[in-house]
Amino acid sequence: MKRANEKVMGAVVLALVLLLTGRTIAGNLDPTNAPGPTMHTLEEIYQKVQDLAPQTLQTLLPNTAVVDAGYYAATNLTQVDTDLTAGNIATNVTIFGIAGTLSASGGTTYESIIRLSGGMDFGNVITGATKAATLTIWNDGDCAMTVSGLQYSDGSFSGNCTGKVLAGGSTNVTVTFAPVLLQAYSGTITVNCDYTHGTNTMACTGSGINAGRYVDHGDGTVTDTATGLMWTKNSNHAWIPWADAVAYCDNLVTNGYSDWRLPSLHQQDGPGGPMGNAELETLFRANGDPSGAWEGPAGTPFTGADMTGWHWSSTTWSGNMTSAWLWIPTAGTTAVGNKPNSAYVWPVRGP
């Protein structure tokens, strides 16, 4: 019996030792504070997880433009579509913050195609005055075009603009012509821009005239105030033989005037011959004097398809009745021609 009691006491002592040893290893298991208001039970946490379970984490796909609803992971679009690079985007175009660098030379179909329109023939403008016209810069391409400025080959023309012209759009520029000399002006306008196709230049022309001598009446007639003679504005009425030219002028009725005639030439008709009236040779000479300085037709309001061609005078050459005197407007040169041949007709009347 004594031996049995000793075994029981040994077991109790061993149990106490193990219990005390376990508490020492585990530490204090009692909470230091009561549960706070933001803490959740295991049951509540389980319910939250269940609520989130039906939601699927979405990702963008490179083979569709459709974006499904849902939660999305952080994404780099250049990884979704490897074609999203600066080299595949046209110059002047930005997509998702990536600025394009691709030009036409890179094989793209994106192009800025320049086209210019507008009347850049300013006609006759009094020296010291100005005349304005509108130049339109078009972009017929499919990407924006940047204009950095306009350049003129002749300083008598001016006007400028800068900025972008959108694809399919246009912009207007006011171009001004300001002649200072009695002469014809001719130049080009160049639009500096990053175009890929088209023409970025246009011709510009005009003439500086003296308002004090040649008066354009706006009805197809011009009066030379130095001589009082009225001429048709068009110097090339017809290319016909001399006899037909005389008849053409005699029968001409225009702007209410019926007393037109073929002009004479201030030129001696051969040795000892009579002098003609000063008409053709007064044109483009200083002060209308046939012996005055040659000024030329540039800057006058007269028009004609060929101011360099021969023009008939009414003056017959005394050396041969079948010939008459001829005259060239751009040089004042004279010559004798056979009447059956053809030359231009330039009617005159008065004074």
What is the rounded CA–CA span in Å between residue 247 and residue 249? Answer: 5
Query: What is the per-residue pLDDT for 176?
Result: 95
In the block, residue with structure tokens 């006609």 = 123
Query: What is the per-residue pLDDT for 92?
Result: 73
pLDDT in tens, 129-171: 888 999 999 999 988 999 999 999 999 999 999 999 999 999 9
What is the rounded CA–CA span in Å between residue 198 and residue 112? Answer: 8
Give which of 176, 149, 172 is closest to 160, Cα–Cα: 149
Please give the structure tokens belonging to residue 43: 């049951």
Query: What is the per-residue pLDDT for 46?
Result: 59
In the chain, which stretches have pLDDT less than 70? 1-40, 42, 44-58, 60, 62-66, 69-72, 103-109, 210-212, 266-277, 305
Element (H, E) at 203: strand 201-209
Query: What is the per-residue pLDDT for 267?
Result: 52
What is the rounded CA–CA span in Å between residue 253 and residue 246? Answer: 14
Domains of the chain (ranges; CATH) run 57-106 (no CATH), 113-209 (2.60.40.10), 214-349 (3.10.100.10)
Task: Measure the CA angle with vertex 167, ends 202 and 201; round to 5°.
Answer: 10
- β 157-158/98-99 pair status: unpaired
Residue 163 phi/psi, 5° resolution? 125, 180
Query: What is the per-residue pLDDT for 300?
Result: 82
Question: 3-state class of 49 per DSSP?
Answer: helix
What is the rounded CA–CA span in Å between residue 336 and residue 315? Answer: 10
Query: What is the per-residue pLDDT for 156?
Result: 94
In DSSP notation, 157-196 reads: EE----EEE-TT-EEEEEEEE---SSSEEEEEEEEEE--S
